[in-house]
Amino acid sequence: MTRPIFTEAGLRAAIERELPGVRADLERLVRIPGIAFDGFDHSHVERSAEAVAGLLRDCSLDVRIVRSGGQPAVIGRRAAPPGAPTVLLYAHHDVQPVGDISLWESDPFEPVERDGRLYGRGAADDKAGIMAHVAALRAFGDDLPVGVVLFIEGEEEFGSDSLERLLREHRDEIASDVIVIADSGNWDIGVPALTTSLRGIVNCFVEIRTLEHAVHSGMFGGAVPDALTALTRLLATLHDENGDVAVDGLISRGGATVDYPEDRLRHESGLVDGVSFIGTGRLTDRIWTKPALAILAIDAPPTTGAPNALVPAAKAKLSVRLAPGDNPKQAYAALRSHLEKHAPWGTTAVVTIEHDGDPCVIDASGPYFDAARGAFETAWDGVKPVDIGVGGSIPFIATFQEMFPAAAILVTGVEDPYARAHGPNESLHLGEFARVCLAETLLLAKVAEAAAADR
C-alpha cells in the first residue's frame, strides 16, 4: 500500500480548514474548571477528562480513561502504519486555581478574545497543548503517517503524584520512538524554540517556635524573642548580598547560549521601576541553570487586628529551583542543614519536605530533533528555532528519560513570554497557536520521513 505524500501546502491548507473547529473545542475545554488541588470540586476534572476522551475518539483513536490513585488521565492510541514510528503526544487537561478573582479582567472560565489573544485559565497552559495535538490528528484524518499515543494527564498542576505509577502501569501501550511534551513555550512571539533543559524543584516548610504561647510585647519584648523575628532572620541567610542563593551544596552552572535583554525581562516579569535584578551572571543562567530560592508564604497573624503580643511560632514555605544536574534529595539535605545551622538565638528550625522533582538536560541531536527544527522553521516562515532552558520544572521528563532511553524527547509548547500562565489573565496568542498547530502537523510528517530514510 502506497502511503500518501504530504506537501507543505496541503498540510497548511488542512490546518487552516481545521482551525475554527479547534478553537471552538479549545474554548469548550477552557469553560471546564478542572482544578486537581485539594479543596476544589474534582467532578470538573472528571468532566474535563471525559471531554478530552471524546475529542480523541472523534479522531478515531482507541481511548480509555485511566487512574492510579489520583486524577483521571486519558490515553488514546492509533497503531502505526507498517514500518512507521510511533509518537507519544503529551499534554495535561487540569489547570491552576485562579487566585484572586479581582485581578482578572474577565471570567477566567469564559474564554474571551482581546487583541489577538484568547484569555482564560488553561487557554495556554495546557489546553492549547491538547488542541495542538488534536489539530494535527484532524489535519491528517485517516492518513496519519505515524502511530500515535496521546497521554493527557489530569493532575500536572498539582504535582503529578500518580503520573509515574500510570506510566509504569501502561508502559507497553505508551512505548514510543518520539515523545512530544507540549507543556513549555517559545522564545518570543515569532521565534520558536525547543526546550533542552529544565530546573528541578524542592518545596519545603520551615517552622520556628520560641514560646509556648503568645505574651505581652511590652512586658517581655527586648529579652524574649518572638518567632516571626527569629524566622525572618533565618530566611535572610538564604541569599548573599547580591541575591545569589547562599546554601552550600547546591549545584550552579552556566552555559546558556542566548540572553534576555534586561528591558524585555523587566517588562515580561512586571518588575517595578527602581527594583534591581538579583543574582550574578547572565540573566538566562540565573533563571535557567542556577538555583533560585523563593519564600512562597509565611503563616503569621494578619496585620489587621494583630495584638501587641510576641508571636510564639511562625512557619514559612520555601521553593528551591535546582540547576540541571543537581539531585533533589541531596539539595533538600543541604537546605535542611543550612536552616538548622543558622536558626538564631538557640531556636530549632523544624524542616519538612512537601515535594521534589528532578531537573533534566536533553541531548537535542539526531534526526528526530532535526525533523522538529525543520517543522518549526517552516511553520514560522523561515525563522530558525532556538534551544532554550526553562526555569520551571517538569519533573516527569526525567521519568520518561529513564523509562524510554532510546526515545527522542521533544519539549515544545504554545506559551509565549506574555501568556501569564499560572497568573491572572492567562492568555494564548492565537497567531502563534496557529503556527504551533502547523508545526506539529509538519513534525509528524517529517518524523515519518526521517524514519523511512533511516531504514
Pick from 281, 277, 316, 278: which is nearest to 300 by CA?
A: 316
Query: Is 310 in contact with 214 (CB distance < 8 Å)?
Result: yes
Answer left, alpha or beta for residue 281, where phi above 0 means left and psi between -120 and 50 means alpha.
left
Q: How far is CA 267 from CA 100, 124, 273, 285, 423, in A?
A: 22, 20, 10, 18, 15
> What does the buried/exposed string (b/e) look like for 27-55 if buried means 16 or more CB atoms within 10 Å of the residue's CB?
bebbbbbbbbeeeeebebbbbbbebbbeb
**For residues 323 and 253, what is the distance between their CA atoms, to the nearest angstrom?**
7
DSSP per residue, 392-410? S--THHHHHHHH-TTSEEE
82: helix, strand or coil: coil
Grid cell locating 342? 543558622
- What is d(CA 278, CA 322) in angstroms, rounded to the nearest whole number? 17
Please pick, among 156, 226, 326, 416, the residue that the annotation labels catalytic: 156
Strands (DSSP E) contained in 281-364 are 292-299, 309-310, 313-322, 349-357, 360-361
Query: Are 251 and 322 in contact, with CB atoms under 8 Å apart?
Result: yes
Cα four-point dihedral sign 264, 259, 192, 182: negative
In the residue annotation, 125 being an active-site residue is answered as no
| Contact of 336 with 252, CB cutoff 8 Å | no
**DSSP secondary structure letters along 88-102:** EEEEE--B-----GG
Residues 6 or more apart whose Cβ sits within 8 Å of residue 192 = 186, 376, 377, 379, 380, 383, 385, 386, 435, 439
Q: Is 94 a catalytic residue?
A: yes
User: One of 25, 27, 94, 125 is an active-site residue; which one?
Assistant: 94
d(CA 425, CA 15): 27
Q: Is 366 helix (H, G, I), strand (E, B) or coil?
A: coil
Indicate the residue type of 157.
E
From residue 108, alpha-carbon distances to 31, 36, 89, 407 in Å are 8, 16, 26, 37
The catalytic site residues sit at 94, 156
